[in-house]
């Protein structure tokens, strides 16, 4: 056994009204990748925030590298050797790569001038060690999220971090970029740096992690070697309930005769879409499968009017229509839960009540006054129906967990009585329990005759919920699977097979 | 090749430079008969820039780069001249120092309000603008006459009879504007403070997490802005021999316009002092062109046209930058 780098014992943290961490323990050894697992609200982020000095603990001990520490600010934690890579990258996009690496500790040469040559060569060396070769004098914002993340990691390496915490680092990366990230994590391991890895994607945990600690409702469940664990056991430890609920519910394809509600014909848009044909029938759940950047989100945006197609036609109930803006689409009866809840979905400081009814307001008013009673009735019924966990409808939505925020957004569109719901990554960053509930809702929508267009990077999720799956690759439809044909294997095969054909064509 | 590449990157405000060149060519062609490109005319434009708010735009750039704003520069500009005149009656050196102290105190106070009391810089500096204008009226009832060799140092002229057509020499204000520009460029590119200003404006939270003392950087930026405004006020009063109470009225808006033309983004973290400098030149060239136009185009029309030009120049720049960034992002995606 290698020696222990971080040891947390009996950690307690409570906020007014919430006991967030109860006697939590965590042990991370030198040079290991340690997964921190748990549903949303299990206390993972609170634990991380206490560790990195954003929150102060109530009691308990944190021993790091042989000494007891109690960081009061993130900067203090940094100095001790604990670095964090956040979901939202904490870098400055307008500044160059090398500036981002050295900000806050710029090397000075004669006359207190900052030494740019030294920064550039050091940055190149550090990035080369990590296997990334880019022009470091370009602004960081010119590179993809994956590269920006590499730069963030390089920054932590260059300040001699002993422990790097990665909070959902893969949530905005595609499969190829994830592999690059993993290569770098392995590199860190070789250098004896420990990593705490937080992710909701189980496959990734099994691929990269050595050990894992499970938290549930703020309590320590246990820590395990990854080799004595399998996916089913891990999930049941996390949620404490049977996994059978998350199996494929659909069998036969029942919609061959259903009326088409929306059709896209030969849609072209910029560099992203090259002739998309797509049909959605009444009451069916259509999945869009494909890699990140294949054009999935762009299709949804065209349908919802937030992007204009360069060429092509859109039909709604068989009639040709022009959708110029989201408000056009809403009037026709569409709802769109966007991929990015934080920036395009919730209005953080408004209450749950206001967030649910904000799109409905035009119908909820008479002479400019809101019909308060009707509004409250609607809000109450959806909170009950969707099992939204909130102390009251007046709670600000930013205080809810990710899963509950997503339910509020679903409620926002459902109370509009839509004909078609577009869900872009509806379960991203949501714990397994809430995921099952949202998937149940999708089924209910479909039963009541509402069509659903679902975009997801998780193939298993598409398999469980969709009646029909359209595979997109490089802005073209490259395959379609219906009913019993749908399985994770066939979906992946379809994505992969078309890729190979593409290559031979180009040869 | 490497040199070329570096030159390309250093011209972050290349679209501004382009616009500037176009304007010069355009003007020199149209007003050939008016001798637009004579030394006399060029130095007149530069002198106008140095007297009427060119410095203010340089100071404002520090603040805008931090994603803040300072509306008090016009008032600081006026008050520092008045204070210099009044205090200078006792001792000229005291006059100069106390004029600069006006800018220092104003900058410190706004910086303090913005960082420690979390007041928006729009409100903090607006309050400062009103307060300082009031102070001017209280301490001086009418224009203050400025006398004495030391206090009127900015009347000095250099290089007499060196440049054809400029027999009496060039006002010292012009080289001072250049020196100030180079100083600002040096600070922004070669010092910790300069680099950290960009970080604070680009992503304040990230900068804080990187261990940068965000509050200190912001206060320093406001102080720089205040000091430069005060210096500018002193120079104007000193060169014209009197400090008028209404000097610098609405100059804060011109300063912001010059920054915007120069490609300094009001959202912070983007822009260069070289850009601001060209912004200043463009602004005053247009200003001068108006004087050539028929008198039927009144002052009011000038104002409207200037407003339109500011809008167009900013729109053109963001369009160009938007496209460039889009293509690069796509290129970067494939690693």
pLDDT at A350: 86
Find, among B221, B192, B199, B231, the residue nearest to B68 by Cα: B221
Nearest to B209 among A90, A141, A293 (CB): A90
DSSP secondary structure string for all residues of A390-412: -S-TTSBGGGS-HHHHHHHHHHH
The answer to whether residues A318 and A436 belong to one domain is yes
CATH number of the domain within which A377 lies: 3.40.50.300
- A133 with A52: CB under 8 angstroms? no
Q: Considering the domain boundaries, does residue A248 fall inside one?
A: no
Q: Which domain holds residue A85?
A: 4-241
| Nearest CB partner across the interface for B269, out of A92, A112, A271 | A92
Q: How far apart are CA A14 and CA A356, in angstroms?
A: 29
Domains held by chain A: number: 2
Quick one: A358 and A325 in the same domain? Answer: yes
Give the DSSP letter of residue A53.
Answer: T
Choosing from A186, A207, A241, the residue where a domain stops is A241
Q: Are residues A295 and A336 in the same domain?
A: yes
Instruction: Tell me, yes or no, whether A283 lies in a domain.
Output: yes
- What burial class does residue A129 get, using C-beta atoms within 10 Å of its C-beta: 0-12 exposed, 13-18 middle, 19+ buried? middle
In this structure, the number of other CB atoms found within 10 A of the CB of residue B35 comes to 12
CB-CB neighbors (< 8 A) of B199 in chain A: 92, 95, 99, 103-104
Please tell me whether residues A130 and A214 are part of one structural domain. yes
pLDDT in tens, A53-77: 888 888 888 998 888 888 888 888 8
In a domain, A64, yes or no: yes
Backbone angles phi, psi at A389, to 5 degrees: -90, 100
A209 and A320 inside one domain: no
Share of chain A above pLDDT 90, in %: 10
The answer to whether the beta carbons of residues B83 and B99 sit under 8 Å apart is yes
A183 or A253, which is more confident:
A183
- Alpha carbon distances (Å) from A251 to A260, A420, B298, B305: 20, 22, 78, 68
Compute the nearest-CA separation of B25 from chain A (Å).
32
A211 with A106, same domain? yes
- pLDDT at residue B82 in the model: 95
Q: Helix or strand or coil: residue A318?
A: coil
Over residues A269-296, the mean pLDDT reads 84
A145 assigned to some structural domain = yes
Cβ atoms of A471 and A480 closer than 8 Å: yes
Does A287 share its domain with A145?
A: no
Kindly state whether residue A250 falls inside one of the protein's structural domains: no
In sequence order, the 6+-apart residues with CB closer than 8 A to the CB of B117 are none
A252 located within any domain: no
Are residues A387 and A344 located together in one domain of the fold?
yes
Interface test with A, best of B209, B267, B318 (most A CBs within 10 A): B209
Average pLDDT score over residue span A312-320: 90
DSSP SS3 for A491? helix
Write down the pLDDT at residue A247: 62
- The answer to whether the predicted template modeling score (pTM) of the entire model surpasses 0.90 is no
- B contacts of A106 (beta carbons < 8 Å): 192, 195
Ordered domains of chain B (ranges, CATH): 2-334 (1.10.3470)
List, in order, residues 6 or more apart from A1 with CB less than 8 Å away. Answer: A29
Q: Are residues A232 and A293 in the same domain?
A: no
Contacts of B207 in chain A (CB under 8 A): 92, 103-104
Structure tokens at A230: 């399998």
pLDDT < 50 regions, chain B:
322-335
Question: Which of A39-48, A232-241, A346-355, B167-176 shows the lowest per-residue confidence on average (mean pLDDT)?
Answer: A232-241
User: Based on the domain organization, do A75 and A199 belong to the same domain?
Assistant: yes
Distance of CA A425 to the CA centre of its chain: 8
Q: Which residue has the higher pLDDT, B81 or A178?
A: B81
- Express each pLDDT in A320-369 by its tens digit: 999 888 888 888 889 888 877 777 778 888 888 888 888 888 778 888 78
Complex confidence, ipTM: 0.76
Q: Give the residue from A241, A268, A283 where a domain finishes.
A: A241
Contact B9 A106 (CB under 8 A): no
Angle between helices B273-292 and B54-65 (to 10 degrees): 140
For residue A147, the chain B residues in CB contact (below 8 A) are 332, 335
pLDDT tens digits, A126-148: 888 877 888 888 888 888 777 88
Domain-located, residue A230: yes
Instruction: Clarify whether residues A308 and A209 are in a common domain.
Output: no
Q: Is residue A255 part of a domain?
A: no
**A236 and A288 together in one domain:** no
- The residue count for chain B: 335
CA distance A402 to A115: 44
- Smallest CA-to-CA distance from B107 within B216, B204, B187 is with B216
Of the candidates B182, B184, B265, B327, the one whose C-alpha atom is nearest the C-alpha of residue B16 is: B265
Is A401's pLDDT higher than 80? no
Q: Which of A106, A112, A293 sits opposite B333 (nearest CB)?
A: A293
Beta bridge partners of A219: A22, A216
Rounded-to-integer distance, Cα B155 and Cα B240, Å: 7
């Amino acid at each position: 056994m290698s020696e222990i780098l971080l040891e947390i014992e009996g950690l307690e943290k409570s906020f007014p009204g919430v006991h967030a961490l109860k006697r939590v323990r965590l042990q991370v050894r030198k040079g290991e990748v340690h997964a921190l697992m748990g549903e949303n609200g299990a206390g993972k982020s609170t634990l991380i925030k206490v560790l990195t000095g954003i929150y102060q603990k109530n009691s308990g001990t944190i021993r790091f590298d042989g000494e007891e520490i109690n960081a009061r600010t993130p900067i203090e934690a940094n100095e001790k050797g604990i670095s964090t890579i956040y979901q939202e990258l904490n870098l400055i996009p307008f500044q160059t790569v090398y500036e981002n690496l050295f900000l806050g500790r710029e090397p000075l040469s004669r006359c207190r001038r900052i030494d740019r040559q030294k920064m550039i060569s050091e940055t190149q060396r550090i990035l080369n060690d990590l296997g990334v070769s880019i022009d470091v004098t370009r602004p960081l914002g010119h590179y993809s999220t994956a590269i920006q993340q590499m730069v963030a990691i390089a920054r932590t390496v260059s300040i001699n971090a002993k422990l790097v915490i990665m909070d959902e680092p893969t949530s905005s990366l595609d499969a190829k970029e994830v592999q690059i990230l993993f290569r770098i994590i392995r590199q860190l391991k070789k250098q004896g740096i420990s990593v705490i890895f937080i992710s909701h994607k189980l496959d990734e945990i099994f691929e990269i992690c050595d050990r894992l600690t499970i938290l549930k409702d703020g309590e320590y469940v246990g820590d395990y070697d990854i080799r004595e664990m399998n996916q089913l056991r891990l999930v049941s430890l996390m949620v404490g309930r049977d996994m059978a609920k998350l199996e494929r519910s659909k069998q036969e394809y029942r919609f061959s005769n259903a009326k088409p509600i929306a059709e896209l014909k030969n849609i072209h848009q910029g560099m992203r879409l090259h002739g998309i044909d797509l049909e959605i029938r009444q009451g069916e759940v259509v999945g869009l499968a494909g890699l990140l950047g294949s054009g999935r989100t762009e299709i949804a945006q065209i349908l919802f009017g937030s992007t204009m197609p360069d060429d092509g036609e859109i039909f709604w109930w068989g009639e040709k229509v022009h959708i110029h803006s989201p408000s056009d689409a809403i009037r026709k009866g569409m709802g769109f839960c966007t991929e990015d809840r934080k920036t395009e979905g919730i209005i953080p400081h408004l209450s749950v009540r206001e967030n649910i009814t904000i799109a409905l307001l035009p119908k909820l008013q008479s002479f400019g006054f809101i019909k308060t009673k009707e509004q409250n009735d609607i809000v109450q019924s959806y909170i009950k129906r969707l099992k939204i966990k909130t102390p009251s409808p007046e709670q600000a939505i930013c205080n809810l967990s990710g899963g509950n925020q997503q339910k509020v957004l679903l409620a926002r569109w459902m109370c509009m009585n839509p004909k078609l719901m577009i869900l872009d990554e509806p379960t991203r960053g949501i714990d397994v329990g809430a995921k099952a509930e949202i998937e149940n809702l999708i089924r209910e929508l479909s039963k009541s005759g509402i069509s659903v267009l679902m975009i997801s990077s998780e193939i298993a999720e598409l398999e469980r919920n969709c009646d029909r799956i359209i595979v997109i690759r490089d802005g073209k439809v490259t395959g379609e699977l219906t009913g019993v044909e749908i399985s994770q294997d066939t979906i992946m095969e379809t994505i992969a097979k078309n890729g190979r054909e593409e290559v031979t064509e180009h040869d | 090749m490497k040199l070329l590449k570096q030159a390309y990157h250093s011209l972050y405000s290349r679209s501004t430079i382009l616009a500037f060149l176009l304007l010069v060519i355009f003007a020199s062609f149209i007003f050939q008969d008016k001798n637009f490109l004579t030394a006399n005319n060029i130095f007149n434009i530069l002198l106008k820039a140095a007297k009427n708010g060119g410095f203010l735009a340089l100071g404002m750039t520090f603040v805008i780069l931090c994603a803040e704003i300072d509306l008090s520069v016009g008032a600081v500009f006026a008050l520092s001249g008045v204070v210099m005149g009044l205090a200078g009656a006792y001792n000229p050196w005291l006059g100069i120092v106390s004029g600069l102290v006006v800018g220092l105190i104003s900058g410190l106070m706004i910086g303090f309000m913005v960082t420690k009391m979390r007041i928006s810089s729009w409100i903090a500096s607006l309050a400062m603008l009103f307060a300082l204008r009031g102070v001017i009226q209280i301490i001086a009832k009418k224009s203050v006459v400025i006398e004495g060799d030391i206090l009127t140092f900015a009347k000095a002229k250099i290089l007499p009879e060196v440049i054809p057509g400029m027999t009496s020499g060039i006002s010292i204000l012009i080289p001072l504007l250049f020196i100030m520009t180079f100083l600002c460029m040096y600070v922004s590119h070669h010092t910790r403070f300069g680099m950290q200003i960009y970080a604070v404006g680009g992503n304040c939270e990230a900068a804080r997490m990187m261990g940068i003392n965000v509050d200190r950087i912001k206060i320093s930026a406001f102080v720089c802005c205040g000091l430069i405004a005060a210096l500018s006020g002193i120079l104007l009063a000193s060169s014209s021999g009197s400090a008028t109470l209404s000097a610098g009225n609405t100059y804060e808006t011109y300063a912001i316009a010059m920054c915007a033309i120069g490609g300094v983004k009001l959202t912070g973290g983007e822009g260069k002092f070289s850009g601001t400098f060209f912004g200043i030149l463009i602004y005053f060239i247009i200003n001068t062109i108006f004087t050539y136009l028929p008198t039927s185009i009144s002052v009011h029309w000038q104002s409207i046209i200037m407003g339109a030009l500011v809008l167009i120049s900013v729109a053109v720049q963001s369009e160009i930058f938007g496209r460039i960034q889009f293509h690069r992002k796509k290129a970067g995606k494939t690693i």
